[in-house]
Each structure stands twice: as structure tokens, then as C-alpha cells.
């Protein structure tokens, strides 16, 4: 079985938190009915059906407007079967961890093999923590990463030097000004909000979502303790551009659970349908 043949949510060629492409899992957007500007029409022109009410016309116009879709990234992929499960469920992106202390760390050889398993419309994200720039460049030479995720204490100059799209993680805690944090990374595609814990990574813990301001200047990727049980509330309450999950869909550290992945994606889909109703 190959991920290339899997049915998945459609999207842009690379994972972008701000993207709004529609998924094939969602109802397709109907074309709005446009009433004629005058009674004179060229032969074969579409006429307004008799009895079509203005209320029906307005409903059609509302349905034709762009609808939001929350992007989904399954992070910490270490096995081919887990990657295939994520793609089959409809994930937009998968994350490979290049941080040696992590139980989800993958070697360059393993990462290269995994990256060859997916179609061009599933994005490959590389996660780094305070890595030597030479390590990032070596990784880019070996693995076709679409997006870089910096999860340590990197500044914007560091993040920009590789010439690749990137997102920057913020470890959320009281006293951290997230607006100022985002303004320090204006070149980022978005900021990833994770729980503050000792070390790096949220360790599967949630944080106080009320600490997220509504006026952030960058798209938000919500992370930190998300599970199939709480992600629907997270999406409907916070409306992030994307969600990022790792331990919340695992059977053990570094080992994903296909059922949990499917349930997580389904919960995000349900939240989007609710928001777009």
C-alpha cells in the first residue's frame, strides 16, 4: 500500500497555516445563482427559474462564499505505517523530528525513506531545536522538507538563513507577550503555540488557552495536549489556522495509533462543519 493512492483532504502543495483550500471530505461549494442584469439575453443564456425566491437566492450566495478549513499536522512520525494512517485519515502534513533527545527522533536515512511515501500534496515538516545550522543544511540536502519548524530559542535571523518557509514555536506561559513574540518573526508562516514545560516540546500537556490574544499578527498553529476528545472544542473556540498533534494520537512514545489519528481528523472536520454552518 502506498500513501500516493490514499484518499485525503485536498490542499496546497505545501502545508501553510493560512491556506484555505477545501477538502474533498467537505461538501463542495455550489455556484451562486446570478440573476440577469436585464431582460435581454443572448440565445442560450441561463434564465432565472420561475418562482425562485430572493431568500433562496441569498442562501445560494452565502453558500458560495469561501469556507474555512483547519489544517492538520501529525507530528513525530517514525514509522511507515503511521505515515500511511495519517495520510489515509486526511492529514495535510506530517512532522519529522530531528532533535536527538526526543523519543520521536528520526535519522536522515529513515526520514528520506518516509518522505518518499507521500504524494506532493502532503507536506513534510522538519522539526529542529537549537540545531547547528550545518545540521539543518545537511538535513535539507537529504530530505525534501516543505516547511521548517523551529522549536527552541532560535531568532528570526537564524530561521531565515535557510531560505525555506518556516514556523516558530512559542512555549506559552503567563507573562509571555505573544503579540510581541509574533512581531519578532514577521517572516514566519505562522506561530505554533505549545505548553511551557522543562525542556522542549509540550510533553502532551495543554496550556491556558485564555492566554492567546485575538490580535496576533500571524496565523496560529495550536499544539500542546490536543487529543480526539478536546480538539473539536479547541477549533470551535479558538479557530486556529491549523492544529498539530503528536502524543495525543499515540499508543506509545513514537508509535501512533491509527484509530486515534482517524478520530482526531474526524473531530477537526466536525468542528469545521459546525463553524461553516
- Residues with active-site annotation: 75, 194
Rounded alpha-carbon distances, angstroms, from residue 105 to 42, 96, 126, 129, 165 = 65, 7, 11, 11, 21
Residue among 134, 105, 115, 147 at smallest CA distance from 254? 105
Pair 173, 225: CB distance under 8 Å: no
Burial class (CB in 10 A: 0-12, 13-18, 19+), 185: buried
Which of 28, 26, 30 lies closest to 57, judged by CA? 30
Cα–Cα distance for residue pair 21/170, rounded to 1 Å: 26
Collapsing DSSP to helix, strand or coil, 274 comes out as helix
Amino acid at each position: 500500500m502506498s500513501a500516493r493512492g490514499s484518499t485525503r483532504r485536498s490542499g496546497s502543495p505545501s502545508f501553510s497555516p493560512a491556506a484555505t483550500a477545501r477538502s474533498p471530505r467537505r461538501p463542495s461549494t455550489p455556484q451562486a445563482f446570478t440573476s440577469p442584469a436585464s431582460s435581454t439575453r443572448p440565445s442560450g443564456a441561463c434564465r432565472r427559474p420561475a418562482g425562485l425566491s430572493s431568500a433562496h437566492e441569498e442562501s445560494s450566495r452565502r453558500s458560495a462564499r469561501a469556507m474555512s478549513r483547519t489544517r492538520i499536522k501529525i507530528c513525530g512520525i517514525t514509522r511507515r505505517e503511521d505515515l500511511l494512517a495519517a495520510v489515509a485519515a486526511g492529514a495535510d502534513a506530517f512532522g519529522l523530528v530531528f532533535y536527538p533527545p526526543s523519543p520521536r527522533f528520526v535519522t536522515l536515512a529513515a526520514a528520506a525513506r518516509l518522505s518518499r511515501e507521500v504524494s506532493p500534496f502532503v507536506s513534510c515538516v522538519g522539526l529542529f531545536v537549537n540545531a547547528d545550522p550545518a545540521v539543518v543544511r545537511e538535513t535539507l540536502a537529504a530530505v525534501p522538507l516543505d516547511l521548517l519548524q523551529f522549536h527552541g530559542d532560535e531568532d528570526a535571523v537564524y530561521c531565515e538563513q535557510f531560505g525555506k518557509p518556516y514556523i516558530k514555536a512559542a512555549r506559552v506561559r503567563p507573562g509571555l507577550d505573544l503579540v510581541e513574540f509574533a512581531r519578532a518573526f514577521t517572516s514566519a508562516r505562522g506561530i505554533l503555540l505549545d505548553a511551557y514545560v522543562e525542556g522542549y516540546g509540550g510533553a502532551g500537556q495543554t496550556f491556558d488557552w485564555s492566554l492567546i490574544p485575538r490580535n496576533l499578527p500571524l496565523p496560529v498553529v495550536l499544539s500542546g495536549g490536543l487529543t480526539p476528545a478536546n480538539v473539536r472544542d479547541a477549533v470551535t473556540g479558538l479557530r486556529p489556522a491549523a492544529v498539530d498533534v503528536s502524543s495525543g494520537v499515540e499508543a506509545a512514545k513514537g508509535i501512533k495509533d491509527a484509530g486515534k489519528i482517524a478520530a482526531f481528523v474526524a473531530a477537526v472536520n466536525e468542528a469545521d462543519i459546525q463553524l461553516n454552518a
